[in-house]
């Protein structure tokens, strides 16, 4: 039963995940994300038990030059209906009006507004839009280059209630489903 309940609320994590992952990218000319090698997931706690799931459909473009990180640009769009908890019934619930509201808001987006060197990596700042609500987001990003590809990895924590995800009824109680959602991403794009 715990697993069923946990899967039921994965949509909150998914929506948040999509938005944050989009912001963690960068490279010199615009390069589309390689969705086959990339991953965006969200982890949240339901009844204090961690639940993780992936978004299966997303796309974006990245412009990043390590010599000019202040000129970086990135835009990532995630299909809110693609959050996959491993069960069609739970996926449908997450895509529903109480959670991600995929019918009215089919995409969650992240647009990078700033990238600055920070320690061994970078600090990305941008705007995340979920359910038509836009909020600023900031998180660390690591970048590795190998085989002609750039790989951007990072984690960001957002608050689902800031985006009205699961904000009505019993799920607004953060002792049932935590407000914090960790977006974990690996974004891969050609190095140009």
What is the per-residue pLDDT across 92-140, written as a single tens digit (0 to 9) for each? Answer: 989 999 999 999 999 999 888 888 889 888 999 989 999 999 999 999 9
Q: What is the CA radius of gyration of the chain?
A: 16
What's the rounded mean pLDDT across residues 20-27? 39
Average model confidence (pLDDT) across the chain: 83
The number of beta carbons lying within 10 Å of the beta carbon of residue 179 is 19
Residue 183 region by backbone torsions, left for phi larger than 0, else alpha for psi between -120 and 50, else beta: beta
C-beta of residue 13 within 8 angstroms of C-beta of residue 52: yes
Q: How far is CA 48 from the centre of its chain?
A: 21
What is the CATH code for 2-190? 2.40.128.110
> Does an H or E element contain 117, and which?
strand 107-118
% pLDDT > 90, the chain: 50
Inter-CA distances, 1 with 58, 102, 192, Å: 31, 26, 49
Residue 168 has pLDDT above 70, yes or no: yes
Read off the pLDDT of residues 31-90 as tens digits, 9 standing for 90 and up.
Answer: 999 999 999 999 999 999 999 999 999 999 888 777 787 787 888 999 999 999 988 998
C-beta of residue 147 within 8 angstroms of C-beta of residue 166: no
As beta bridge partners, residue 144 has 151
C-beta of residue 122 within 8 angstroms of C-beta of residue 69: yes
The two tokens of residue 74 are 């990135």
Residue 160 has pLDDT above 80, yes or no: yes
């Amino acid at each position: 039963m715990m697993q069923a309940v946990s899967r039921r609320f994965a949509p909150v994590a998914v929506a948040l995940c999509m938005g944050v992952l989009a912001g963690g990218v960068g490279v010199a000319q615009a390069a589309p994300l390689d969705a086959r090698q990339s991953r965006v997931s969200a982890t949240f706690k339901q009844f204090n038990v961690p639940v993780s799931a992936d978004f299966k459909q997303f796309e974006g473009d990245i412009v990043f030059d390590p010599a000019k990180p202040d000129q970086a640009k990135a835009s990532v769009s995630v299909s809110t209906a693609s959050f996959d908890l491993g069960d069609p019934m739970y996926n449908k619930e997450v895509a529903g009006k109480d959670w991600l509201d995929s019918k009215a808001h089919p995409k969650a987006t992240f647009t990078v507004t700033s990238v600055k060197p920070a320690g061994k990596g970078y600090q990305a700042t941008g705007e995340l839009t979920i359910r038509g609500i836009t909020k600023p987001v900031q998180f660390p990003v690591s970048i590795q280059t190998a085989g002609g590809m750039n790989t951007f990895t990072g984690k960001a924590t957002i608050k689902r209630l800031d985006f009205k995800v699961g904000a009505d009824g019993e799920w607004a109680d953060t002792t049932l489903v935590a407000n914090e959602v960790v977006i974990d991403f690996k974004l891969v794009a050609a190095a140009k």
